[in-house]
Structure 1
Amino acid sequence: MPTRKALVIGINYAGSDSELHGAVHDAKQWMQVLTRDFAFRKENIQVMLDVYPNGDPVEDDPFYSVPTKENMLAAIRWFVSDVREGDSLAFIFCGHMTQILDYTNRSGERIEEALCPIDWDEFDGATPYRLITDRELHQLFGQLPDSGVLLTMVLDASTCSAPLRVPLRRNASYLEREDDNTEVTQAKFNATFDCKPWLSSQHVNAIARRVPYKIWRPLWTSLARALKPSFSPPLQEGCAIFCITACGLGQSALEAWIEGLQQGVLTHCLLQVLEKQQTCSVLEWVQQANKVANDLRAKVIPNMDQHFEVSYGRHAGPDECQMFNPAAALLAKDRSKRRRGQVFLPT
């Protein structure tokens, strides 16, 4: 029997100088929608929060765990373990992300995307930050079996590109066009972001979901990487992977006071669509969410610059796969086998 499994993370960074107010609410909304509308069972969902909705810190809770780096890595290992053909996986992250710059300033050096756990700014004895980089994510998700698995990832945070290295992407501003999901390098990256989208929207308490600092990779780790580049295995071609991100290069993911609640713009727009329909394709889901975002831009947050993106593999496109539907995984498995010549059609 196929399993539906989810890891949902919401971090408000309560009491810090990078505090958010809507990420925990987002996570609880996602958990409710997954269980109510898409047959995810509570025993197959792990939820990570730093505070309860009333602001009290999460401590010794049998259902919620605190999203420290150590706990998040353990949760992801659980998430990718014991996965079988036909399983549908949902990874939801609402909080801060950041991009890591290289001290060597090599223009061709790839910018790393990183998730920010609650203890992201603590010194761990080797590096000044406790981030979960896209290299770590790629290595962990690379453990998924090549046997027809659907992975849906939603990142309601500021990114430049999808942290999972899948080859294709579409931007919500021109969803009919399919682009290569090229790496963002040091030369392309602009570390100075436009503050206008949220500073001019204080009437809705708009906040950018990115840490308010430049993050630099320590010099000694930069030199070590230059001498011995790390290798991440490619993700399995038999997996159907859809990574929906809140924004692209040079943009900022926002949370704001929308319809009486502080919530992430991406989460709000995606869930608004799910209130009306649960059987559309991934592409239609993003298209409809983009219409909700355009309405917000016209009526509530006029300077909002974020445009949603969806990244994916070559063997299961967002226009032909229903959201959270395990049939997409079997499509990817079949096509990858055909490409490798493992399936022979009758003449």
Structure 2
Amino acid sequence: MDMRRSTPCSRCRQRFMAKSVTKGADVECPSCKPNYLPIPADEQYSSSQQQHYGLRSRMRCFYSQVRGKVHQSTVTPSLNPDPSAFNSMKRSSKRAVLCGITYNNWKQYRLKGTINDVRNMRDLLINNFGYPGHFIRVLTEEEADPRFIPTRKNIEDSLSWLVSDSRQGDSLVFFYSGHGLRQPDFNNDEDDGFDETICPVDFQEAGMIVDNDLNTLIVRPLTPGVTLHAIVDACHSGTILDLPKVYMSEEKNWVNSIPPSGAEKRTSGGLAISISACLDHQAAADTSAFTAGKMNGALTYILAEILKKLPGPTYGDLFDLINETLNNVNQSSCLANTRFLRRLFNSNFSQTPLLSSSAEFDVYKKHLFL
């Protein structure tokens, strides 16, 4: 008679068949200690349970094997090429900086979809818009090279690299997925009295990067024939580049956003376009509504899917599709953190992406090509 019985692994909690298990004793499964026979997944759980528990158990087994045997850089391959390639290769007319910040040391404010956002945007730029991988800088906390950790200095250095030596015909992209905040404006540059900010991983020590800084870093240097697209998936990101023209989707018209102080916020002849996740006073959602069990920034996911399926849409069509999709998801109550956000915004949570630019254009005639 087979005396084996089902028991959970004391290390990874995967259930398996073990012989002569003493009640209360710690035992390990085959992946952690190869002495036992695992139970097939379809015998352990129902189909709905398998999806939730089976994957988690297998992942725990995997990490128990690699723990102490490999470094993080081996487990998570870098999204950057050999750093020396940035200096050794010829320049490219297509360059990008992609920044995704998880805030791993902040459990309460940790974001789960930012790395997925970066991967999504990198794949989109390479596969759909022909960006060379060697000219896409990626800054995340998963990078082993300290130069690619999204600190304030590294972000600013990468943005300087992005616009340096720009020439006519260049197409540049700055993508950011992370926390965004607001702070009082002391320069009389904002109609609402607040500067918009992005939060580097070390912002508590080094400070936030405010919209004035971003304008100086990547808007003012743009020379004639150079186009910059900034895609910012963060709370309070509406006018994050301080661009002088803002397109109002509902009214279908451009409005001036010139600083009350009269400070110059234009380019040096190039074109800067910003696609922001929400208005300055709104929050942006991290959601699993589109891919079960996988978090993404709502704007990033929708934008990427549209551009993959509908290459080169007009800006007007793009924003109509984004807003329609967000409204449908919002009505279905699928957005992550919806309960909290609905309380915060008096049960009227909404996320309205915003288009701003250094110059007006016909949004239903001009096509988006990154």
With the length of structure 1 as denominator, give the TM-score of the two structures. Answer: 0.69
Identify if the C-alpha distance between structure 1 residues 289 and 109 changes in structure 2 by more than 3 Å, giving closer, same or farther. closer
Question: Which has more radius of gyration?
Answer: 2
Counterpart position of 1:234: 265
SS at match of 1:121: helix
Taking the TM superposition and a 5 Å limit, the aligned residue runs for 1:132-171 are: 132-159=209-236, 161-171=238-248
Letter in 2 for 1:86: G
The answer to whether 1:323 aligns with 2:368 is yes
Contact 2:222 2:268 in 1 (8 A): no
Q: Return the match for 1:257 from 255, 277, 288.
A: 288
Separation (CA, whole Å) in 2 of partners of 1:102 and 1:236: 22
Aligned to 1:245: 276
Q: Give 1:257 shift.
A: 1.5
Tell me the equivalent position of 1:15. 105
Inter-partner Cα distance in structure 2 for 1:160 and 1:151: 17
Deviation at 1:238, TM superposition (A): 2.7
Q: Which amino acid aligns with 1:66?
A: I
Contact 1:7 1:46 in 2 (8 A): yes
Offset of residue 69 of structure 1: 0.6
Q: Is the 8 A contact 2:182 2:195 kept in 1?
A: yes
Give me the whole-angstrom Cα distance separating, in 2, the residues matched to 1:286 and 1:97: 21
- Percent of pairs identical after alignment? 23
Shift of 1:139: 1.3
2:53 match = none
1:288 partner letter: L
The residue type equivalent to 2:322 in the other structure is A
Q: Show CA shifts across 1:48-90 (max 9, x none).
A: 1113xxxxxx3227xx810001111110110110110011111
For residues 99 and 109 of structure 1, do their structure 2 counterparts lie closer, same or farther at Cα, with a shift above 3 Å needed? same
Distance 2:257 2:264 in 1: 17
CA–CA distance in structure 2, aligned partners of residues 59 and 314 of structure 1: 40
CA RMSD of aligned residues (A): 2.9
- Taking the aligned partners of 2:270 and 2:127, their CA distance within structure 1 comes to 25
Q: Residue 241 of structure 2 aligns to a residue in which SS?
A: coil
Residues matched between the structures, number: 265
Distance 1:30 1:297, change over 3 A: same
The 3-state SS of whatever aligns with 1:279 is coil
Q: Give the CA deviation at 1:167.
A: 2.1
Tell me the distance in 2 between the aligned counterparts of 1:234 and 1:262: 35
1:77 is matched with 160
- The answer to whether the Cα contact below 8 Å between 2:212 and 2:242 also exists between their aligned partners in 1 is no
Higher relative contact order (CA 8 A, sep 6+): 1
Give the distance between the partners of 1:71 and 1:165, measured in 2 at CA: 22
1:72 aligns to what SS in structure 2?
helix
Aligned CA distance change for structure 1 residues 121 and 240 (closer, same or farther; 3 Å): same
Alignment-mate amino acid for residue 116 of structure 2: H
Q: What does residue 5 of structure 1 align with? A: 95
Asked whether 1:276 is paired with 2:353, we answer no
Offset of 1:142 from its aligned partner? Answer: 4.0
Q: Show the counterpart of 1:307.
A: 352
* Distance (whole Å) between structure 2 residues aligned to residue 131 and residue 20 of structure 1: 17
Contact 1:139 1:232 survives alignment (8 Å): no
For the Cα contact (< 8 Å) 1:240–1:315, is it kept in 2?
no
Q: Which residue identity is paired with 1:236?
A: T
Alignment of 1:151-230 (within 5 A): 151-159=228-236, 161-172=238-249, 174=250, 176-181=252-257
**Conservation of the 8 A alpha-carbon contact between 2:267 and 2:358:** no
| 1:92 aligned counterpart, secondary structure | strand
Q: Which runs of 5+ in 1 are unaligned?
A: 52-57, 125-129, 186-228, 326-347
Shift of 1:175: 5.7
Mapped partners of 2:280, 2:185: distance in 1:
17
Cα distance, 1:82–1:316 mapped onto 2, change above 3 Å: farther
Greater CA drift, 238-247 or 142-151: 142-151
**8 Å Cα contact 1:7-1:91 kept in structure 2:** yes
The worse-fitting range, judged by mean Cα deviation, of 290-299 and 233-242 is 233-242
Name the amino acid aligned to 1:294. N
Kept after mapping to 2: 8 A contact 1:100/1:114: yes
**Cα pair distance change 1:103/1:309, threshold 3 Å:** closer
